[in-house]
Chains A and B, each alone.
Chain A
């Protein structure tokens, strides 16, 4: 996983005698004292996560096999909740909306944020100013973003005014089931691109300059440099961005909740919103927990595929 060890095509020039190759021996020399230390420093994190994450998580798994309304004690129903879900068009629609949301916000965000990061990773007029400006959407709190964009998306709002300049008729944005999901996805992208741009930028700046210098001397074009130096060395960053992006997109809640409440109809009712409604509006914790287990499974499947894709390439 170490960026240096995986850079097979990069040929460091003589100027850099090459950093030591830590990939060869990633572990410290083991010993019983060291093992005790390792456990001791792992323990606080494990303990906090055990109490506030694993325990509720296990309980959520247990609840998915019960009929539970929060008030009377849970009643064991076996797989009934899961069987019901497979036949529930509302649930299937919600999964569909979530998958559309995830794929349509993750796929454009990767090239956009990487592209911006590459543009910023070079000398440029007003670079700091532009970088700060483009970073701004990240700092807008979600509650604020939802309200400001709702305001801008109004029929008489500023977005339609701008469309009017280029001769496009007003778009109903959040007020039509055919456009609402895209409007919500758009602001998700608006806030995500600068976020991941910064992560890519960090990854790019960790790539030793010398590799690029060497590539230039070898006469490599910018595409070849990108393909054979930047991309392989960015692999850990890329994995991080894709995994995070999928999880964040899958979890999206506050924005559709505040902007559309899931509507019109169920056009923007993403899975977490449906889970939330099932639990806290319909008092059906069992079914909500079953949905969360399905969502958990979807996320795990995504993560598994991503890690597999990235590590397999490396092994070749």
Chain B
């Protein structure tokens, strides 16, 4: 186990996000300029962003960065209204799955190649892990850059495993079958109260529900969104099997009635020791360190149907530039994005955010980050969260289908048939 101090101490000064051997064709403006950026409230993110802004303004005294912190629950609505009325910020921060919608509405400025000193988009894509920019690429052009890429891995509370006579490494579930077998050993009830859950799926937001449902469907050999990016198969055989499994796992391991998770604190049950196992991303690490669990936890890969053919999820947050701003300001906005992303190790150490860049895994900070290899492996086997103009409609319809089956015991096939017809209605 490493301490936070060694993590910070190990910071290297290298910048990975520069294309070697190419001179930047971008001439930095000298006139005063104000660049606005909004981001979603997350303590460590805000702290580091303020540092970056101060550093950038020091570097370019003629530039003023105006920042607004928006609560994550309000960000999407606020951004939508602002973008639609031309009052949005220069730099857009949002969940990667929204960018398909933004792109289809012409709100995004394509990445400024001059600023990044590269001749074509391939030059940028080459810096990232294979598929790392899939969510940001539209018709061959890159429109956004991720500052946080996550998979969902399985976090284990060591103490609660030990209390059940289990070893968090040797007895960690590799398959859903293992998970169901572990349920009775780790779930503790007192009368009708569940005191400790073995594991639970998330129910606090449809986005999270889809985040866990999508890889399950893929493990059963299905696909929610077809290659064409439009057709959705929410009630395929694989999806029905996935929902059935979801329900069966929940019955043995979890208790959806007993949860303190909310959109703003999705890991709360795990942090409070209310559940022995929980799926979340590497960004949760600083939170867990600050909780009563401290460093007494283990991370293993997301459970599989067939561990030989692992399927996981890839999701994250990205930055893009608002297409409605003047060209000179857009160029500076891209330059600021380049600047912010240029120290991936600091992002890992200070915020717990991984960028899907090549070479990150080899840095000292990454090597010292708890269970980095596990997170990286799950990221590499992940496919991006459903990216469609209708992501919201799809996630909400599937979220409701899951809740119908889990809460009201509706047959998975019937429940997903209803979701499918809701989605088709929305897309039409």
List residues of B (356-410) whose CB comes within 8 Å of A's CBs: 390, 392-393, 396, 399-400, 403-404, 407-408
Whether the pair A282, B203 counts as a contact (CB closer than 8 A) is no
Contact pattern, B 305-319, Cβ under 8 Å of A = 1, otherwise 0: 000000000000000
With both beta carbons as reference points, the residue of chain A lying nearest to B84 in the complex is identified as A70
With both beta carbons as reference points, the residue of chain B lying nearest to A72 in the complex is identified as B105
Whether the pair B194, A69 counts as a contact (CB closer than 8 A) is no
Within the complex, which residue of A170, A172, A264, A280 is in contact with B80, where a contact is CB–CB below 8 Å?
A: A280
A42: CB under 8 A from chain B?
A: no
A315: CB under 8 A from chain B?
A: no
Question: Residues of B contacting A261 with CB < 8 Å?
Answer: 205, 263
Interface-central residue, A71, A88, A169, A261, by most chain B CB under 10 Å? A71
With both beta carbons as reference points, the residue of chain A lying nearest to B395 in the complex is identified as A281
Whether the pair A154, B392 counts as a contact (CB closer than 8 A) is no
B175: CB under 8 A from chain A?
A: no
A155: CB under 8 A from chain B?
A: yes
Whether the pair B193, A155 counts as a contact (CB closer than 8 A) is yes
List residues of A (228-287) whose CB comes within 8 Å of B's CBs: 261, 263-266, 276-277, 280-283
B125: CB under 8 A from chain A?
A: no
> When chains A and B are docked, how far (Å) is the Cα of A150 from the Cα of B393?
26
Question: Residues of B contacting A280 with CB < 8 Å?
Answer: 76-77, 80-81
- How far apart are A83's CB and chain B's nearest CB, in angstroms? 13
With both beta carbons as reference points, the residue of chain A lying nearest to B76 in the complex is identified as A281
Whether the pair A282, B106 counts as a contact (CB closer than 8 A) is no
- How far apart are A127's CB and chain B's nearest CB, in angstroms? 41
> When chains A and B are docked, how far (Å) is the Cα of A71 from the Cα of B255?
43
A90: CB under 8 A from chain B?
A: yes
Whether the pair B107, A282 counts as a contact (CB closer than 8 A) is no
- How far apart are A69's CB and chain B's nearest CB, in angstroms? 7
List residues of A (102-161) whose CB comes within 8 Å of B's CBs: 150, 154-156
Interface residues on A, range: 20 to 34
> When chains A and B are docked, how far (Å) is the Cα of A193 from the Cα of B128?
59
List residues of B (79-112) whose CB comes within 8 Å of A's CBs: 80-81, 83-85, 101, 105-107
> When chains A and B are docked, how far (Å) is the Cα of A89 from the Cα of B425?
10
Interface-central residue, A84, A261, A264, by most chain B CB under 10 Å? A264
A177: CB under 8 A from chain B?
A: yes
Whether the pair B105, A69 counts as a contact (CB closer than 8 A) is yes
Given that A263-B403, A280-B77 are known contacts, is A71 also in contact with B392, CB under 8 Å in the complex? no
- How far apart are B259's CB and chain A's nearest CB, in angstroms? 7
Given that A178-B408, A280-B80, A280-B81 are known contacts, is A265 also in contact with B257, CB under 8 Å in the complex? no
Question: Residues of B contacting A89 with CB < 8 Å?
Answer: 422
Given that A71-B84, A283-B101 are known contacts, is A156 also in contact with B77, CB under 8 Å in the complex? no
Question: Residues of B contacting A283 with CB < 8 Å?
Answer: 80, 101, 105
Given that A175-B256, A264-B203 are known contacts, is A90 also in contact with B81, CB under 8 Å in the complex? no
- How far apart are B105's CB and chain A's nearest CB, in angstroms? 4
Question: Residues of B contacting A150 with CB < 8 Å?
Answer: 262
A9: CB under 8 A from chain B?
A: no
With both beta carbons as reference points, the residue of chain A lying nearest to B193 in the complex is identified as A170
Given that A71-B84, A170-B192, A265-B400 are known contacts, is A177 also in contact with B77, CB under 8 Å in the complex? no
Question: Residues of A contacting B257 with CB < 8 Å?
Answer: 155, 170, 172, 175-176
- How far apart are B258's CB and chain A's nearest CB, in angstroms? 4
Whether the pair A70, B403 counts as a contact (CB closer than 8 A) is no
> When chains A and B are docked, how far (Å) is the Cα of A261 from the Cα of B106?
29
Within the complex, which residue of A88, A170, A177, A276 is in contact with B425, where a contact is CB–CB below 8 Å?
A: A88
B426: CB under 8 A from chain A?
A: yes
Interface-central residue, B107, B258, B263, B390, by most chain A CB under 10 Å? B258
Interface residue count on the B side (C-beta < 8 Å): 38
Within the complex, which residue of A71, A178, A265, A276 is in contact with B106, where a contact is CB–CB below 8 Å?
A: A71
> When chains A and B are docked, how far (Å) is the Cα of A90 from the Cα of B205?
18
- How far apart are B275's CB and chain A's nearest CB, in angstroms? 13
Whether the pair A155, B425 counts as a contact (CB closer than 8 A) is no
B260: CB under 8 A from chain A?
A: yes
> When chains A and B are docked, how far (Å) is the Cα of A208 from the Cα of B259?
55
Contact pattern, A 68-106, Cβ under 8 Å of B = 1, otherwise 0: 011110000000000010001110000000000000000
> When chains A and B are docked, how far (Å) is the Cα of A175 from the Cα of B77?
25
Question: Residues of A contacting B84 with CB < 8 Å?
Answer: 70-71
Whether the pair B260, A177 counts as a contact (CB closer than 8 A) is no
- How far apart are B243's CB and chain A's nearest CB, in angstroms? 14
Whether the pair B193, A177 counts as a contact (CB closer than 8 A) is no
- How far apart are A81's CB and chain B's nearest CB, in angstroms? 13
> When chains A and B are docked, how far (Å) is the Cα of A265 from the Cα of B408?
9
Given that A155-B257, A264-B407, A280-B81 are known contacts, is A71 also in contact with B192, CB under 8 Å in the complex? no
> When chains A and B are docked, how far (Å) is the Cα of A14 from the Cα of B258?
67
> When chains A and B are docked, how far (Å) is the Cα of A165 from the Cα of B77?
43
Question: Residues of B contacting A264 with CB < 8 Å?
Answer: 203, 403, 407
> When chains A and B are docked, how far (Å) is the Cα of A147 from the Cα of B259?
15
List residues of B (263-278) whose CB comes within 8 Å of A's CBs: 263
Contact pattern, A 29-52, Cβ under 8 Å of B = 1, otherwise 0: 000000000000000000000000
Question: Residues of A contacting B194 with CB < 8 Å?
Answer: 155
> When chains A and B are docked, how far (Å) is the Cα of A282 from the Cα of B85?
16
- How far apart are A182's CB and chain B's nearest CB, in angstroms? 14
Given that A69-B105, A70-B84, A265-B408 are known contacts, is A156 also in contact with B193, CB under 8 Å in the complex? yes
Question: Residues of B contacting A281 with CB < 8 Å?
Answer: 76-77, 80, 392, 396
With both beta carbons as reference points, the residue of chain A lying nearest to B260 in the complex is identified as A154
With both beta carbons as reference points, the residue of chain B lying nearest to A157 in the complex is identified as B260
- How far apart are B278's CB and chain A's nearest CB, in angstroms? 17
Question: Residues of A contacting B404 with CB < 8 Å?
Answer: 177, 265
- How far apart are B159's CB and chain A's nearest CB, in angstroms? 19
> When chains A and B are docked, how far (Å) is the Cα of A156 from the Cα of B390?
37
Question: Residues of A contacting B263 with CB < 8 Å?
Answer: 261
Interface of B with A (CB < 8 Å)? 76-77, 80-81, 83-85, 101, 105-107, 191-194, 203, 205, 255-260, 262-263, 390, 392-393, 396, 399-400, 403-404, 407-408, 422, 425-426
- The 6 A-B residue pairs with the shortest CB-CB distance in the complex, in nearest-first order: A70-B84, A172-B257, A155-B258, A175-B257, A280-B77, A264-B403
A-B contact pairs, 5 of them (CB 8 A): A71-B83, A261-B263, A263-B400, A277-B396, A280-B80
19 additional A-B pairs beyond A69-B105, A156-B258, beta carbons within 8 Å, are A71-B83, A71-B84, A84-B425, A155-B255, A155-B257, A169-B192, A170-B192, A170-B193, A170-B257, A172-B257, A177-B404, A178-B407, A261-B263, A263-B203, A263-B400, A265-B404, A265-B408, A282-B426, A283-B105
